[in-house]
Amino acid sequence: MSELENEFPGQVKAQNVDATAPDAVKTIKRLGFKNHGLVIRSAKGTVLWKEPDHTVKIEDARAELEKLLKK
């Protein structure tokens, strides 16, 4: 997913998180994921979009970013 940062330079920051870290485990549960997923957050940390577990598709994330950045 870090390639999205390159596709949207200066607009998107990608971050991979170790899903086994204690804080990450809590966040994963709070987001309703079983074990991992993809989250798009605002600069202030608000969840704008999420895809759980193994249903994550980069084309879906790309489309959502394009839509959010047009606002």
Measured from the Cβ of residue 64, the count of other Cβ atoms closer than 10 Å reads 16
Residue whose structure tokens are 């997923």: 37
User: How are beta strands 37-41 and 47-52 bridged, if at all?
Assistant: antiparallel
Q: What is the pTM of this model?
A: 0.83
Per cent of the chain over pLDDT 90 is 73
What pLDDT band is residue 51 in, cutting at 50, 70 and 90? very high
Q: How many domains does the chain have?
A: 1
What per-residue confidence (pLDDT) applies to 71? Answer: 76
Domain membership of residue 7 as a residue range: 3-70
| Cβ atoms 53, 37 nearer than 8 A | yes
Residue 6 has a pLDDT of 94
Tell me the per-residue pLDDT of 17-46, one tens digit each, with 9 for 90 and over: 998 999 999 999 999 998 889 999 999 999
Task: Please give the residue that has the higher pLDDT: either 54 or 11.
Answer: 11
DSSP 54: G
